[in-house]
Amino acid sequence: MSLYLVRHAKAGSRGEWNGPDEHRPLSKRGWSQAEAIAARLLKRSPSALLSSPYFRCRQTLEPLARLTDLDIANDERLAEAEPFGPVIDLLLAAADGTVVCSHGDIVPDTIAALQRRGCEMLTAADWRKATVWTIERVGDQFTTARVWIPADN
């Protein structure tokens, strides 16, 4: 079964944003990246969309939600500064085709944890915004992972 772990697309600058960081939206480039992610993942027949409650993560999945008519469910385990262990639990319980969107601290920690569990990395790591990790799972074993580079690079 295939799962997809997305690092949110480019958001506006933290330093230039005056509101709560949780409400910081995608930039114009980020919306383009989100559209590209949606076009690519649509071909994979996503079954569920899970997101950090931060706006930039939800917005990253909005184009895919429109194309698939799937709702985006918030999951606090995917928020910034959360531990990776509960994210592993989420991936273990996820249905085939689930798309999960999180942050630049959660994604590398989660991938490193999968690798420690024996998951084979088929590509070099890439932690840039708008990357998508395809993770294969058989039962409770994560077997392989590969990253798709952002479409706008």
CATH number (3.20.20.70, 3.40.50.1240, 3.40.50.300, 3.40.50.720) of 2-148 reads 3.40.50.1240
What pLDDT score was predicted for residue 79?
Answer: 98
Output the CA angle 48-109-105, nearest 5 degrees. Answer: 85
Contact 108, 125 (CB under 8 A): yes
Contact 42, 63 (CB under 8 A): no
What pLDDT score was predicted for residue 13?
Answer: 86
What pLDDT score was predicted for residue 12?
Answer: 87
Residue-level pLDDT, tens digit, the chain, 153 residues = 999 999 999 998 888 889 999 999 999 999 999 999 999 999 999 999 999 999 999 999 999 999 999 999 999 999 999 999 999 999 999 999 999 999 999 999 999 999 999 999 999 999 999 999 999 999 999 999 999 998 765
Of residues 93, 18, 108, the one with CA closest to residue 48: 93
> In angstroms, what CA-CA distances link 152 with 30, 40, 62?
10, 13, 18
What pLDDT score was predicted for residue 15?
Answer: 86
90: helix, strand or coil: helix
Q: Which two tokens stand for residue 58?
A: 């939800």
